[in-house]
Amino acid sequence: MRDAEFFRRWMAAAATAVEREADRLTELDSPIGDADHGSNLLRGFTAVRAALEAEPTDAAPGAVLQLAGRTLISTVGGASGPLYGTLLRRTGKALGESPEVSDEELRAALSEGVGAVAQLGGAASGDKTMLDALLPGVAALATSYRAAGVAAENGALATVPMRARKGRASYLGERSVGHQDPGATSSALLLGALADVAEQAGAR
């Protein structure tokens, strides 16, 4: 079972990963976006870390993710804030007010969160978006947390030959081919951070 502390550690690990990879995310965003993905997410997850440090330690897992989602929406510009904020808020809402949640409950809640992202962005698998990492990553949670991280990373790498059909990159048409999607890359960081924290907690 996963308590609120597990989810705070996940968000902190995600913030650390974004801090480490911010320059790379911006570099990936430069040819097919606005060259601000890394800086935007860095600002957002830095704010998430601060917000969670100020949050009471007895908050439920769902409350942790909803706070993180609200913070991202209020601090991150462009599409990333609403999309990541929706992912975490909907996942947190699906978890409800339970003080502990099972791995199966987390997987089901994340699936709801990913579905909300797809609805908000109007995107699907193969459109060269964050969904190309999130969909296989969350599906692989049925196997293990590490499998989810690996599947998300492979999903991000698989966006390189795709032509973007949604978002800023879609305006480039064929010129979007040959570039790794920054949103899929940051989504892989998020699930990779989840895998790291789960392994530290002794999960498979």
Both tokens of 23, joined, read 């320059």
DSSP 2: E
pLDDT digits (tens, 9 = 90+) for 15-41: 999 999 999 999 998 988 888 999 999
pLDDT of residue 68: 97
pLDDT of residue 172: 64
Mean pLDDT, the chain, integer: 93
pLDDT digits (tens, 9 = 90+) for 11-20: 999 999 999 9
Longest Cα separation, the chain? 50
| Gap between the Cα atoms of 187 and 183, Å rounded | 6
pLDDT of residue 171: 64
pLDDT of residue 87: 98
* Letter string b/e over residues 125-152, b meaning 16 or more CB atoms within 10 A of that residue's CB: eebbbbbbbbbbbbbbbeebbbbbbbbb
Query: Is residue 178 predicted with pLDDT exceeding 90?
Result: no
pLDDT digits (tens, 9 = 90+) for 41-50: 999 999 999 9
Q: In a 10 Å sphere around its CB, with 0-12 CB exposed, 13-18 middle and 19+ buried, how is residue 98 labelled?
A: middle
* 100 sits in which H/E element: strand 100-101
pLDDT of residue 34: 86
Query: Is residue 57 predicted with pLDDT exceeding 80?
Result: no
Which residue matches tokens 């801090």?
19
Helices 145-157 and 131-140, packing angle to 10 deg: 150
Residue of 94 and 204 predicted with greater confidence = 94
| Gap between the Cα atoms of 8 and 79, Å rounded | 24
* 188 sits in which H/E element: helix 182-200
Q: Which of 10, 13, 9, 32 is nearest to 21 (CA)?
A: 13
Binned at pLDDT 50, 70 and 90, residue 136 comes out as very high
Q: Which of 116-125, 170-179, 185-194 has the highest mean pLDDT?
A: 185-194
Identify the bridge partners of residue 2 per DSSP, sorted by sequence position.
101
Q: Torsion-angle region of residue 180: left (phi > 0), alpha (psi -120 to 50) or beta? A: beta
